[in-house]
Amino acid sequence: MTTVSTQFVPLTADDFRARLREALAIYVEAMRYPPGTAEQRAPMWLTHALRDGWRGFAALDADGRLLGIAYGYRGNPGQWWHEQVRRGLVRSGGEAAADHWLADYFELTEIHVHPRSQAHGIGENLLRRLLDGVPNRHVLLSTPEGPSRAWKLYRRVGFVDVLRDYHFAGDPRPFAILGRALPLEPPGGASVTPAGS
């Protein structure tokens, strides 16, 4: 359950740029990356904020400090992640599998909650708010292989295996590509009856 003092706010690209240092600090802490990673990632994150369909959400404490961040954008051919995943999907399942998942998708690029604030529902709240109203047919993400709170969250909201034990260029760790159809069901899996039905 989310802590009472947590606020969830949509981010404009300007908001995101203003909070970039704070967001990257959470990313480094949550992912247990070495010092210096934030400086390497900053230009990439700034470029992401210029992409088609970019949207972001932040979780803030009562004093306005960042507890968590989530962002993503429409995936398109020519983007590094898209091309890497397409290559892996074609190798493992053929062109049809790649076309199925990559024809119309939202890339959930980053979702991170500070370790001290994890296990309070913040990650799921960020994920649901970020994906609410996304017009794409699917959502895709990559996450390091191995048990984690993130894995439990993704399974809980219905993400399935798209590609497992995949190695991105330049990273020795195995990753899983997970995906699901949009929109998400409401929390608890209850179905929503459209008005007028």
Average pLDDT over residues 163-170: 92
154 catalytic? Reply is yes
pLDDT at residue 83, rounded to an integer: 97
How far apart, in whole angstroms, are the C-alpha atoms of residue 185 and residue 192? 8
For residue 196, what pLDDT is reported? 33
Q: Which listed residue (27, 71, 154, 166) is catalytic? A: 154
**174 by DSSP, 3-state: which?**
coil
Mean pLDDT of the chain: 91
pTM of the model: 0.89
H helices within 35-132, ranges in order? 37-48, 80-102, 122-131
At residue 4, the pLDDT reads 54
Architecture of domain 7-187: 3-Layer(aba) Sandwich (3.40)
Tell me, what's the pLDDT at 190? Answer: 45
> Per-residue pLDDT tens for 124-158?
999 999 999 999 999 999 999 988 888 999 999 99
